[in-house]
Amino acid sequence: MSFLLQSIFNGLLAGCIYALFAMGLTLIYGVLNFVNFAHGELIMWGAYFLYLFMGTPFGFPLPIALIPALFFTILLGIGMDRFAFKPIRQANRLTLLIAALGLSFLLRNGAQLFWGAELRTYGFEIKRGWRILNMSITINQMAIIITTLICIVIVYLLFHRSKLGKSMRAVSDNLELARVSGINTKKAIQFAWILSSALACVGGILLALDTNLQPGMGLINLVKAFAATLLGGVGNLWGALLGGIIIGLAENLGVLVISTGYKDAIAFGIMVILLLLRPPVLYGTQE
């Protein structure tokens, strides 16, 4: 029984991380109407940036290193949009996606170039935590939960209580209308990228804290993030949150029944089941 409880807890933990991934992905989807295939690499680079600033020659402690890590990930996100996506904003969907895929490949191999393909970790020792209800919770894990909660609150405040958030929501709803109504769509888009990259960065760091770092970690997490957004309704920020939690739980409860080698495939399996159940997209009058 306590094993089950532990799995549920681990599931919630993973779910927090996936929620952050999914929220970042769905933000860009909402505002620009496309799935950023390179989002996984924002996650991955976020984690590696922290690694970079905590290691030589910088050697910053985690809280300090977090700042440049966030900064550079955001820079990467904005740069992505500016140099790869903006020039083809008007092009057809396939062009955009292929470019995003190429970008993701570029970034992934860039990381491999610098850090090699081996697994790395931040090197924190697993410190004793607490025992609650017969489950053991480490400090790291607590940190993950708290950080996620903080992020959620920040996102909520930014999205629903700030002017920029309002413009983002307007742009998500209807780009043309927003532009015509005098909303600074450029700024809203930029803000979406900042937020999306920040969420990816934090999520990536938390994931690396919980597991490890490797250049290929972007791809599979993109798939999971996407499954979560699909679960929660694409474009729906809070749905993405919920979806992420569900995926996390499903994964950790799922491995109680199936082989751990397929843990990463569970998210995909959920997506397939979801899709089998829904009717074909009626090529309606939306694009």
* Between 56 and 90, CB nearer to another protein: 90
Binding site for another protein (CB under 8 A): 34-35, 37, 84, 87-88, 91, 93-99, 101-110, 112-113, 116, 219-220, 222-223, 226-227, 230, 234, 259, 261-262, 264-265, 268, 271-272, 275-276, 278-285
* Between 61 and 261, CB nearer to another protein: 261
Shortest separation between residue 287's beta carbon and another protein, angstroms: 9
**Two tokens, residue 171:** 């742009």
Shortest separation between residue 124's beta carbon and another protein, angstroms: 28
Q: What is the DSSP letter of 80?
A: I
Shortest separation between residue 198's beta carbon and another protein, angstroms: 22
- Decide if 242 contacts 12 (C-beta within 8 A): no
Shortest separation between residue 237's beta carbon and another protein, angstroms: 18
Shortest separation between residue 265's beta carbon and another protein, angstroms: 5
For residue 259, how far is the Cα from the chain centroid?
25
Rounded to an integer, what distance in angstroms lies between the CA atom of residue 259 and that of residue 180? 54
* Between 96 and 189, CB nearer to another protein: 96
* Between 70 and 271, CB nearer to another protein: 271
Q: What share of the chain is helix, strand, coil (3-state, %, to 5)?
A: 75, 5, 25
The CA-atom distances, in angstroms, between 157 and each of 118, 140, 266 are: 39, 26, 32
* Between 126 and 283, CB nearer to another protein: 283
Q: Collect all residues with Cβ–Cβ distance below 8 Å to 77 and sequence separation of at least 6.
A: 42, 193, 194, 196, 197, 200
**132 phi and psi angles, rounded to 5 deg:** -125, 130
